[in-house]
Amino acid sequence: MGYDRLPPFQHSELTPKNNSKRLLFISVVAFFTIIIVSAVCAGLVVRLRDGGGAATPIPRKPTQAISRTCGKTRFRKLCVNSLLQFPGSLTAGEQDLVHMSFNVTLQRFNKALYTTTSISYIQMDPRVRSAYDDCLELLEDSVDALSHSLSSVVSNGKVGSTQDVMTWLSAALTNQDTCTEGFDGLSGAVKDQVAAKLADLSELVSNCLSIFAAISGDDLGGVPTQNRRLLASGENIDEQHFPKWLRREERALLDTPVSAIRPDLVVSKRRKRHPATGSGFIARDITFENWAGPAKHQAVALRIGADHAVVYRCNIIGYQDTLYVHSNRQFYRECDIYGTVDFIFGNAAVVFQNCSIYARKPMLFQKNTITAQNRKDPNQNTGISIHACRILPTPDLAAANGSFQTYLGRPWKLYSRAVFMLSYMSDHIHPRGWLEWNATSPVDTLYYGEYKNYGPGGAIGQRVRWPGYRLITSDIEAAKFTVAQFIYGSSWLPSTGVTFLAGLEV
């Protein structure tokens, strides 16, 4: 069949009678077309409002189950609205709503990752590009963390470790804060677009934390978690005290004397620090040093965001912001750490054990602060625990004869949490012990604790009188910040072959 041009339209004369019939026919067709289109549009609206589920209008008021579930959260309105949009939420019970809250949050993160990736073609200056790339990486990490959390919260199953879920959710929330903070001091279209795409993500994760923490605390069996088999003591260790999963070349490296190892490491110009992410990271007998002096402000020597991370017999050297304990569960043993301002900072659940922590001589008019913990949400299972360590000055600081004040820490975020336990403190520690972040920062929501520290800097007579400061006298309370209870290290540290103390004392 050929496709030729159509011939000219042949006009025909229409009688008034034929014209009336044609107009009547067109009117009837148009009337029914309007009815059909209206019905289809109404159906689409109902379905869209119900998230694609059954075509029933969403009531203005949430169900009792949704109200009770969202009543546990810090962002109730967002919780209600997000659950109402999820298919099946109107008939769901409270246990199912926990799963749904995780699911809707993961969906929002996947969408944010997709839309944020879509603007990668835009021309950016180096600082904006660096912040943007970091944001993408952090979003991917958050999607992984939320996926693990969702797969662990199941409708039926045995009760496993809720600490895994709490850790992954806490890390996802920390990732969003880090992404946002990366654009501080910057401006422009990219920052605005990223901010718009990430809107409400932190609040959604916070709601998941609140819901899961409340139910886990009240009734652990209420929301079963998938039972994950963790590495057990002795079971996965061979006769040479190596983990059985360690490859031959990795065993050879660990067996080689440190003096015989010739490192071959290149750090890119953009990455002037050593970041470690993933799960099961181990560093042993390594020096991490940032050569930037005290005048260079933030100069991270090592950043770790890996879960079940171990740093053993390492030197971590810098000035301001030396060690970034970013997120997840971490353990440091027999390490020497040097710095000035906020030189152990971040939002991991981390224990330092048998380490030497050295304050260095800072710049003129600066104050040394050992910790700057940035817990943002009261349900995050994060904090810094310094257990059986030595808090010391470097020789140049000691020679300054008290010209520079050194504090145990200051609160970076609202729910900052740090404890010092059974540690020796030299006389360079200021009698107040702790320092405000600024003149207006609240000191009633933080948790700063000290337990049986000793030495001239451990005297507590002139310590701060903040509502959030605690002189811990209960062994039970102190035990909450040990390896066994704070990072649940007894279940995963034995497989690393690293020495650790599970409880308070031998």
Catalytic residue set: 342
CA torsion through residues 297, 300, 305, 310, sign: negative
List Cβ neighbours of 432 (8 Å cut-off, separation of 6 or more).
407, 462, 463, 464
What is the SS3 assignment for 453-486? CECHHHCCCCCCCCCCEEECCCHHHHHCCCHHHH
Q: How far apart are CA 506 and CA 504, in angstroms?
A: 7
Q: SS3 for 294?
A: helix
Supply 269's token pair: 């110009």
Q: How far apart are CA 318 and CA 302, in angstroms?
A: 9
Supply 165's token pair: 């879920």
CA torsion through residues 161, 164, 167, 172, sign: negative
**DSSP assigned state of 495:** G
Residue 203 vs residues 85, 101, 147, 209, 285: alpha-carbon distances, Å: 16, 12, 17, 10, 40
Supply 357's token pair: 């922590």
Angle, helices 94-117/76-84, rounded to nearest 10 degrees? 90
Comparing CA positions, the residue from 45, 103, 94 lying closest to residue 67 is 94
Q: SS3 for 348?
A: coil
List Cβ neighbours of 156 (8 Å cut-off, separation of 6 or more).
224
Instruction: Give the total residue count for the chain.
Output: 506
Supply 457's token pair: 């800097």
Residue 286 vs residues 84, 274, 283, 385: alpha-carbon distances, Å: 52, 12, 7, 22
Q: How far apart are CA 348 and CA 171, in angstroms?
A: 8
Whether the CB-CB separation of 427 and 387 falls below 8 Å is answered with no
Supply 397's token pair: 């600081």
Strand partners, 417: 447
**DSSP assigned state of 91:** G
Q: How far apart are CA 174 and CA 346, in angstroms?
A: 9
